[in-house]
Structures are given as structure tokens and as C-alpha cells.
């Protein structure tokens, strides 16, 4: 965890330093510097091209999951207590509204496997659970603190709906058998806080950290805690937008 905190601090310093360098290169449009790029002058002046200065921008975001620390509510579930991890959408398409609000829909592909071996080792007996699936995630973020040139500090949250396929492979005395199970619909929620640095008005890079959970919807009434996982997640964010 100390390593993760150190890495986050280094990334934040790098992002802010990059944004400051870009600002120094192009100048400050509020100070009347004519070398500022046209898109920054439009943002400050409230007009210009790219959709008539409506303030609405089409955005696409990419997320790379870098931290996924899961706590299992019931460690006896699955080989080694394996459960689907917190889902992070790979790509999100949406709209930037009222200058600070982003609403979008994300899509992703997910998968993991857990192997449970006999005490004598995996050569004699092993049991491997493999999960793979796809999902979509309605997402909302809001810039709490924002600077047009530097970037923003924001809160973010999304719902996850993931269709998981599960297969189990058993190896015993050199004989392998494979069992395929019906698809399962998992759902969950991720909440977090992020920081984004602007390379230009249209392109940014940042990082997000938070907490989330995943659960199997059909099991809620029978035993709410039997198939429930929660934990810490972290991402690297890539953000691009264009005026409408």
C-alpha cells in the first residue's frame, strides 16, 4: 500500500508539471497572450467554432485498471474464495455538460481464473475456476475543483452489469474434466475520486481511486453475503473531447 501511495504522488506531480509546461508554452489567454491555442481562447471567451460555443462536448474516456484489492465476504465460495473483481469499463462514450458534469456509458471485457491445488502440489490434483464476460456501466463524474488550463479534482461513480461465463477444470490422477456453467449476471457499484491534468483543452490524463463491490443478483434473497466481493480499485484515465 505504501508503494501505491508513492506511485500516486509521483503521478500527480508529473501530471501537474506537464500541465504547467503546456501553459508556459502557449501562454495565458486571460492575460491577452495571442499565442494561446484557439481552443483555449474559445473556452475563455465563450464563443467561436466547434459547435457554436454551446458548452456541450462529446467525450471518450479510456481506463486502465492498475489496482484491484478484493475482500471476500465468504472465503469458502469457489476455489480459493475466487470471485469476479471490481469491473472497470475499458472505454466510455458520453457528453460533457454544464462545464463540470460528464455522463456516459462504458463498456468492458473482464476475466480471471483461480487455481486450488492439493496439499501435495498441483501435479496430483488441481481445480481451476475460470470466469470471463462483458459488461456495460452507466457512469457519472463531476468536477469539484477545476482550472481550465491545469485540470480538475472530481468525483466519479458507475454501476456495473456484467454477464459472466464460468467453467471449471478438474485434474485428478492425470485425468482432466471440464464443466461449463450457465452464464451469471453480476452487478455492482464503484465510487471514487480522481485528479485529471489537461495536456490541451481536448486531451487529459489522470488517475482515479475508490471502493467498489460486485454481487450475483440471483443469490440476494437466499444468502446476501454468500457471493459478495468488495475492495479498493485504482485506474489510469485517458480523456479526449470535441465540441458539438
Task: Write the CB contacts of 19 (distance below 8 Å, at least 6 apart in sequence).
Answer: 149, 150, 151, 197, 198, 199
Beta-sheet strands, E only, within the chain: 57-72, 91-97, 101-118, 121-147, 151-172, 175-198, 203-216, 228-243
What pLDDT, on the 0 to 100 scale, is given for residue 24?
52
What pLDDT, on the 0 to 100 scale, is given for residue 40?
44
Task: Write the CB contacts of 91 (distance below 8 Å, at least 6 apart in sequence).
Answer: 60, 61, 62, 63, 106, 107, 108
What pLDDT, on the 0 to 100 scale, is given for residue 168?
83
Q: What is the DSSP letter of 138?
A: E
- Kindly report the CATH number assigned to the domain that includes residue 238: 2.40.160
CA end-to-end distance (rounded Å), the chain: 42
What pLDDT, on the 0 to 100 scale, is given for residue 181?
77
- Residue 236 main-chain phi, psi, to 5 deg: -105, 130
Number of domains in the chain: 1
Profile the chain (244 residues) by mean pLDDT over runs of 10 residues: 48 50 47 47 35 73 83 45 71 93 94 68 70 92 93 96 85 77 85 96 95 72 59 93 90
Q: By residue range, what is the domain housing residue 126?
A: 2-243
Query: Angle at Cα 145 formed by Cα 140 and Cα 150, nearest 5°?
Result: 105
Amino acid at each position: 500500500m505504501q508503494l501505491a501511495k508513492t506511485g500516486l504522488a509521483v503521478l500527480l506531480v508529473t501530471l501537474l508539471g506537464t500541465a504547467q509546461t503546456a501553459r508556459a508554452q502557449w501562454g495565458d489567454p486571460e492575460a491577452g497572450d495571442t499565442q494561446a491555442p484557439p481552443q483555449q481562447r474559445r473556452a475563455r471567451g465563450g464563443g467561436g467554432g466547434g459547435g457554436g460555443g454551446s458548452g456541450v462536448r462529446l467525450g471518450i474516456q479510456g481506463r486502465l485498471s492498475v489496482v484491484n484489492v478484493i475482500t471476500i465476504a465468504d472465503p469458502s465460495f469457489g476455489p480459493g474464495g475466487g470471485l469476479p473483481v471490481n469491473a472497470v469499463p475499458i472505454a466510455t462514450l458520453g457528453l460533457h455538460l454544464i462545464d463540470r458534469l460528464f455522463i456516459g456509458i462504458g463498456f468492458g471485457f473482464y476475466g480471471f481464473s483461480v487455481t486450488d491445488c492439493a496439499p501435495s502440489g498441483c501435479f496430483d490434483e488441481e481445480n481451476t475456476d475460470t470466469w470471463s464476460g462483458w459488461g456495460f456501466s452507466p457512469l457519472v463524474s463531476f468536477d469539484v475543483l477545476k482550472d481550465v488550463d491545469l485540470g480538475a479534482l472530481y468525483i466519479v461513480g458507475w454501476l456495473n452489469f456484467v454477464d459472466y461465463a464460468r467453467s471449471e477444470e478438474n485434474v485428478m490422477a492425470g485425468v482432466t474434466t471440464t464443466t461449463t456453467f450457465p452464464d451469471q449476471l453480476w452487478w455492482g457499484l464503484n465510487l471514487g475520486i480522481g485528479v485529471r491534468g489537461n495536456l490541451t483543452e481536448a486531451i487529459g490524463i489522470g488517475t482515479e481511486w475508490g471502493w467498489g463491490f460486485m454481487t450475483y443478483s440471483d443469490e440476494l434473497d437466499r444468502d446476501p453475503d454468500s457471493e459478495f466481493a468488495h475492495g479498493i480499485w485504482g485506474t489510469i484515465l485517458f480523456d479526449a473531447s470535441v465540441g458539438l
